[in-house]
Chain A
Amino acid sequence: MATEKKKTSQVVKYNKWGYIFLIPFVVVYLIFQMIPLISTIYNSFFENYMSGLKQIGPTWVGLQNYITIFQNGDVPKYFGNTMVMWIAGFIPQIVLSLLLAAWFADTRLRVKASGFFKTVIYMPNLIMASAFAMLFFTLFSETGPINSLLIQMGMIDTPYKFLSHVVSARSLVAFMNCLMWFGNTTILLMAGMMGIDNALFEAAQVDGATSTQVFFRITLPLLRPILLFVMITSLIGGLQMFDVPQILTNGEGTPMRQSMTMIMYLNKHLFSKNYGMAGAMSVFLFIITGILSLIVFKFSTSESND
Chain B
Amino acid sequence: MPNEEYNDVEGGLGIIARRVIAYIVLILLTFLCLFWFYLLFINSTRSHAELNRGFTLMPSKYLVQNFNNVIHGTQPIMTGMRNSFLVAALCAILSTYFSAMTAYAIHVYDFKAKKAIFTFILAVMMIPTQVTALGFIKLIGNLKLMNSFIPLIVPSIAAPATFYYMKQYMESALPHAIVEAARIDGSSEWRTFNTISLPIMKPAIAVQMIFTFVANWNNYFTPALVLSKDNMKTLPILIAQLRAADFLKFDMGQVYVTIALSIAPVIIVYLFLSRSIVGGVAVGSVKG
A152 engages B54 (CB within 8 Å)? yes
CB of A143 within 8 Å of the partner chain = yes
Q: Considering the complex of A and B, which 4 residue pairs feature the smallest CB-CB distances, nearest first?
A: A210-B11, A18-B109, A36-B135, A39-B135
Q: Is B43 close to A, CB under 8 A?
A: yes
Q: What are 27 A-to-B residue pairs whose CB atoms are below 8 Å?
A: A18-B114, A19-B105, A22-B117, A24-B102, A25-B101, A25-B157, A28-B154, A28-B155, A36-B135, A39-B138, A40-B133, A99-B25, A108-B8, A111-B23, A132-B36, A145-B39, A192-B286, A208-B2, A211-B18, A233-B126, A233-B285, A240-B128, A250-B244, A266-B133, A279-B134, A282-B131, A286-B132
Which of A74-82, A83-91, A290-298 lies at the interface with chain B?
A290-298
Q: Across the interface, which residues of B come within 8 angstroms of A300, CB to CB?
A: 122, 287
Produce 1/0 per residue, B244-263, CB < 8 A to A.
10010000100110010011
Q: Which size class do A's interface residues fall under?
A: 35 or more
Other-chain contact of B259, A135, A242, A289 (Cβ < 8 Å): A135
- Within 35-77 of A, Cβ neighbours of B (below 8 Å) are at 35-40, 42-43
Q: Does A130 contact B (CB under 8 A)?
A: yes
B231 CB within 8 Å of chain A: no
On whether the beta carbons of A121 and B30 are closer than 8 Å, the reply is: yes
Q: In whole angstroms, what is the CA distance A270 to B275 when docked?
A: 40
Flag if A270 contacts B133 (CB, 8 Å). Answer: yes
Q: How far is the CB of A32 from chain B (nearest CB, A)?
A: 4
A160 interface residue per 8 A CB criterion: no
Q: Is the CB of A155 closer than 8 A to any CB of chain B?
A: no
Partner of B262, one of A31, A128, A251, A270: A128
Flag whether A257 is at the interface (Cβ < 8 A): no
Q: Which residue of B is nearest A225, CB measured?
A: B286
Q: Are B137 and A270 in contact (CB under 8 A)?
A: yes
Asked if A134 is at the interface (CB within 8 A of a chain B CB), the reply is yes
Is residue A198 within 8 Å, beta carbon to beta carbon, of the partner chain? no
Chain B residue nearest to A147 in the complex (CB): B55
Interface pair B163/A247, CB less than 8 Å apart: no
Hey, which chain A residues are within 8 Å of B25, CB to CB?
99-100
Q: Mark A259-301, 1 if CB is under 8 A from B, else 0.
A: 0000100110011000100110011011001101110110011
Instruction: Mark each residue of chain B from 1 to 44: 1 if its CB lies under 8 Å from any CB of chain A, else 0.
Output: 01010011011110100110011011001101110100110010
Interface string of B210-226 (1 = CB under 8 A from A): 00001001101100110
Q: For the complex, is B200 an interface residue (Cβ under 8 Å from A)?
A: no
Is A2 an interface position by the 8 A CB rule?
A: no
Contact of B110 with A15 in the complex, beta carbons under 8 Å: yes
Query: Which residue of the partner chain A has the closest CB to B183?
Result: A14
List of A residues within 8 angstroms of B205 by Cβ: none
CB distance from A235 to the nearest CB of B (A): 10
Shortest C-beta distance, A304 to chain B (Å), equals 6
Q: Closest residue of chain A to B236, judged by CB?
A: A130
- Name which residue of chain B comes closest to A153, CB basis: B55
Contact partners of B110 in chain A: CB under 8 A: 11, 15, 18
Contact status B220-A188, CB under 8 Å: no
Q: Is B136 an interface residue (CB 8 A)?
A: yes
Interface of B is mostly: helix
Give the distance in Å from the alpha carbon of A292 to the alpha carbon of B26 in the complex.
33
- Tell me whether A128 and B266 are in contact in the complex, defined as CB-CB below 8 angstroms, given that A109-B15, A285-B128 are known contacts: yes
Contacts of A115 in B (CB 8 A): 275
Identify which of B58-66, B67-75, B276-284 touches chain A: B276-284
Asked if A35 contacts B139 (CB within 8 A), the reply is yes
Q: Do B158 and A25 touch across chains, with their CB atoms under 8 A apart?
A: yes
Which of chain A's residues has its CB closest to B43's CB? A145
The complex places the Cα of A236 from the Cα of B218 at a distance, in Å, of 19
Known pairs A25-B121, A25-B157, A190-B282. 10 more at Cβ < 8 A? Answer: A19-B105, A121-B30, A126-B277, A130-B218, A130-B239, A131-B235, A135-B36, A152-B55, A282-B134, A285-B131
A134 near B242 with CB under 8 A, answer yes
Whether A134 contacts B285 by the Cβ 8 Å rule is no
- Verify if B125 is at the interface (C-beta below 8 Å from A): yes
Q: How far is the CA of A19 from the CA of B102 in the complex (A)?
A: 9
Let me know if A221 is at the binding interface, CB within 8 A.
no
| Chain B hits for A253, CB < 8 A | none
Residues of B within 8 A of A16 (CB): 111
Q: Are A187 and B33 in contact (CB under 8 A)?
A: no
Given A15-B109, A120-B30, A188 contacting B286 (CB threshold 8 A) = yes
B124 neighbours in A (Cβ, 8 Å):
33, 293
B104 on interface, CB distance cutoff 8 Å:
yes
Interface residues of A in 103-135 (CB under 8 A from B): 103, 108-111, 115, 117-124, 126-132, 134-135
Q: How far is the CA of A211 from the CA of B32 in the complex (A)?
A: 27
Q: How far is the CA of A224 from the CA of B133 in the complex (A)?
A: 34
Q: Shortest distance in angstroms between A231's beta carbon and chain B's nearest beta carbon? A: 13
A108 touches B15 (CB 8 A): yes
**Pair A289/B39 contact, Cβ less than 8 Å:** no
Q: Is the CB of B239 within 8 A of A131?
A: yes
Decide: B221 and A243 in contact? CB cutoff 8 A. yes
Min distance, Cβ B154 to any Cβ of chain A, angstroms: 6
Task: Check B12 against A212 for contact (C-beta < 8 Å).
Answer: yes
A162 contacts chain B at the CB level, 8 A cutoff:
no
List the A residue with the shortest CB-CB distance to B132. Answer: A36
Closest-CB distance, B88 to chain A (whole angstroms)? 11
Judging by beta carbons under 8 Å apart, are B33 and A17 in contact?
Answer: no
* Residues in chain A near residue B151, CB distance under 8 A: 32
Complex: A176 Cα to B168 Cα, angstroms: 32
